[in-house]
Amino acid sequence: MSVRALWIISHEKGENVSIRFSRRFSTVEHRAKRLAGSWYVAVPEENTVLQLLLTEMGLSDSNKPYVALRDDCLHCQRSPALELRVDGPAKGVLWPVLAISQGPLILACLPLVDAPAEPRPPLASLLSVSQGLTLLAGLQTFLLGAGGKLDSEGLASRLAMLPAVLLQVCPLGTPLDVPLLGAPATNTVPTPAGSQKQPAWKTGLHRGRAVVNVALAETVRSMQYGNRSRQDLWDVFGTVTCKCEVEGVLPNVTVTLTLPPNGSPLQDILVHPCVTSLDSTILTASSVDNYDGSAFSGPYKFPFSPPLEPFRLCSYTSQVPVPPILGSYQLREEENQLHVSVTLKLHESVKNSFEYCEAHLPFFNRDQMGVVDVKVSFGQLDISKEKNLLVWALGQKFPKSREVTMEGKITFSGPTAGPTDPLCTDLTAYIKLYFKVPDMTLSGCCVDQHSVQVYSSAKPRIVTSRELLSKEYFIWNSTGTAPVSSGLLF
């Protein structure tokens, strides 16, 4: 359940690589040596680790098209654990090296194998692997922030805090917790001595007015082909985020999600570890099962004792009967001209009030756009500065008819070539929709203010909200070949 070493590396697409932080846990290494016996492979020095790791991640020698060590087709990287093949006197394979990479940052660690080294135990039998993954993810969030945006000064100051942070969360190689994201924002006081034990994940106690904030956000993804032989796909997943400012060492709060009558049940529910108990019926519905009409459809009760910081109480997926916006996209190529025809239709069940709604039509593997003779029935059409993208802004509302169209011709006669994409060749093309609808969910799921129960003396203020967001919402050109995106197609 421990890790032998930890590395934090920054790079720019394989260039300017440097180890920004590293830590070896000597006592864990001591155990590793005893456990592995003659199979023991020592952790090499920093530079060697760096080189091996980059090779294994395919980031080394980025200017060379083929490097045998890096590109051998036998090295099939399909597990989260890498093998570092150490050469030289201490020859051997260092395994399992976990590495997560986001933007210019790579975080890696080497979990202890607390099982006989040969034959190599399955990854799934080593608890240190999931512990290592959790630690790395926690450190990544700490370094880059929840949004994953990197600012080099912020990063440097976070890196400088790491020794103190590790003293708390992983002093001797055994991860105890993930770092907190900054100090808790609310008024907190240290715990008084009392009979009630304070949860280890709660750094202090809230003092002041009780406020409970519950935000429900649903995301819809879609692949529409406009093709009879291929079924359109869409799915919805939702998250419930809470911020609870409630007094007490272990206050009880219950949030209840409800569905409208005939709403399809919430599936694949995952809950935060602060949820105290679950009814088994809540967990039964799964997206990989055939839909069973008799399934439990709420209300979904989540009793929990909140931590101080905002947290994701639960997530779910849902199978809604129709996509919010149904589109059709048709391209015809004619004498250096592309005929474009688009229709977008907002489903009647969706609230016609957007925060924003835009359709993007990128064109790859062609020259820049020359003459654009395209009319839209509604909204505004812009051509991107780079002249390879049409942006159709629909604004806050669809027209009364709930249907908008675009029709016209584009020539590609610009002076320079536009961007390339190996996937979108010839008539393989897509429209990508970006929209956000406040105060609605597709599944119909909602948190009623009155259903939030807080068992404390003072009457809390309760704020709830919901919204619908699009992500990976594609409408493919029905006259071209569109790539398969899911096995559920057949």
Partner 1 sequence: MAVNWAERISAFSRSPSRFLSGTTAEAFLAELLRELRDDRASYSVKVLLLSPLCEHPTVLCPSDSVGEETALELMSVFAQCPPKTVQFCCHLLLALTSVLVCTSCVSSRSRASQDFLDLLLQIAQDTSDLHGDAAHRSLRATACDCLQELEACSPGLLSQRLELLGGLRQRESSRLHQSYAGLQTLVLRNAVYQLTQETGAGPEHLKAILGGNTSVAWEAEQDSGLMNNKDSAILSSVILGPMGTVPTLQTGPDCKELRSVLSSLLEESYLLTPLCQAALLNRLTELVAMVPGVPPAIFRAQLLRLLGTSEVGLLHTTLLMKCAFTDSLFSAEDEAFILKRLVVLSQHPLLSTPEKLFYMDCILHFPENRPIGCSDGDETLPVLLTPQLALALVPTVFNDSATMLARLNLLSLVYLEEGEDGEEGRGLAYLYEHLTSLLHIVENGGSREIVVTFFRAVLLFLSYFCHVERYSNSLTEKLCQLYLHHTYLAPHLINLADQTQDKLTESSWAVGLLKALQGVITEAPLAQLTLQDLSRHLKMLARVAEEGEIPQHTTLSFLSSVITPSSSSLCVSGDWRLGNSLLGVCRRLLVHPSLDSLLIPLADILQHLTCRYGDTDIMDHARLYYSLLTTLSREKLASMLAQDLTEGGRQVKRRTLSSIMAEGEGLTSALTIHQTEKAIFRLMKAQSEPRERTQSDRESDLNQNETENSPGEANVALEAYRTQFHDPRFASEITLNHQLTHVEAVDSRFDQLFSICLHFSLTDDHYDDLSDISVPCLFRDRPCPKVKLTLKPRRPHPTTLHASAIFTTHDGLSWHTVLPDIHIAFQQVFMPPPTPPTWGRGGRLSLFEGLWDEMSSDSREKDLTDCATSLFCCQLKEAALITLVEKHFLPYLVSDLSEDDDEFKVLVFLPPQSHMLLKIRSEEDAVHFNIATDNWQLLPHINSYLLTITSCQDAALGHL
**What residues from 158 to 217 belong to the interface with partner 1 (CB under 8 A)?**
163-164, 167-168, 171-178, 190-203
Query: Cβ closer to partner 1: 322 or 488?
Result: 488
Question: Smallest distance, Å, CB 310 to partner 1?
Answer: 15
Range in contact with partner 1 (rule: CB under 8 A) among 40-48, 224-232, 380-388, 444-452: 40-48
1 binds partner 1 (CB under 8 A): yes
- Establish how many alpha carbons lie within 13 A of residue 271's alpha carbon, considering only the half-sphere containing its beta carbon: 20
- Using CB under 8 A, pick the residue from 13, 15, 68, 459 that binds partner 1: 68
Calculate the alpha carbon distances from 6 to 19, 20, 24, 80 in Å.
11, 11, 6, 16
Question: If you write DSSP's letter for every residue of 47-92 in order, what string do you get?
Answer: HHHHHHHHHHTT-SSTT-S--HHHH-TT----SSEEEEEE-STT-E
Q: Report the alpha-carbon distance of residue 357 to residue 433 in Å, rounded.
A: 7
Query: Cβ closer to partner 1: 346 or 429?
Result: 429
Question: Smallest distance, Å, CB 58 to partner 1?
Answer: 6
315 binds partner 1 (CB under 8 A): yes
Q: Report the alpha-carbon distance of residue 238 to residue 441 in Å, rounded.
A: 9
Query: Cβ closer to partner 1: 66 or 450?
Result: 66
- Which of positions 250-309 make contact with partner 1 (CB under 8 A)? 250, 268-273, 275-280, 282-284, 286-289
47 binds partner 1 (CB under 8 A): yes
Range in contact with partner 1 (rule: CB under 8 A) among 123-131, 150-158, 293-301, 329-337: 123-131
Alpha-helical regions (H) of 225-349: 280-284
Question: Smallest distance, Å, CB 82 to partner 1?
Answer: 10
Question: Smallest distance, Å, CB 338 to partner 1?
Answer: 18
Question: Smallest distance, Å, CB 452 to partner 1?
Answer: 20
206: burial class by Cβ within 10 Å (0-12, 13-18, 19+)?
buried
- Which of positions 125-154 make contact with partner 1 (CB under 8 A)? 125-127, 129-131, 133-137
Count of residues interacting with partner 1 (CB under 8 A): 125
127-144 helix and 152-169 helix, angle to the nearest 10 degrees: 140
Q: Beta strands 211-224 and 461-476: pairing type?
A: parallel
- Which of positions 407-436 make contact with partner 1 (CB under 8 A)? 420, 422-423, 425
Residue indicated by tokens 């654009």: 372
φ/ψ of 180, rounded to 5, equals -75, 145
What length does the chain have?
490
Residue indicated by tokens 């008024």: 187
Query: Cβ closer to partner 1: 134 or 456?
Result: 134
Q: Report the alpha-carbon distance of residue 388 to residue 365 in Å, rounded.
A: 10
E strand or H helix that includes residue 476: strand 461-476
319 binds partner 1 (CB under 8 A): no
The residues pairing with 404 across neighbouring beta strands, listed in sequence order, are 344
Range in contact with partner 1 (rule: CB under 8 A) among 113-121, 254-262, 434-442, 460-468: 113-121
Range in contact with partner 1 (rule: CB under 8 A) among 369-377, 394-402, 437-445, 478-486: 478-486
469 binds partner 1 (CB under 8 A): no
31 binds partner 1 (CB under 8 A): yes
Query: Cβ closer to partner 1: 119 or 415?
Result: 119
Output the CA torsion sign for 348, 480, 368, 336.
negative
Q: In the chain, how long is the greatest CA-to-CA distance?
A: 82
483 binds partner 1 (CB under 8 A): yes
Q: Beta strands 300-304 and 252-258: pairing type?
A: antiparallel
E strand or H helix that includes residue 152: helix 152-169
Query: Cβ closer to partner 1: 198 or 213?
Result: 198
241 binds partner 1 (CB under 8 A): no
Range in contact with partner 1 (rule: CB under 8 A) among 20-28, 322-330, 368-376, 386-394: 20-28
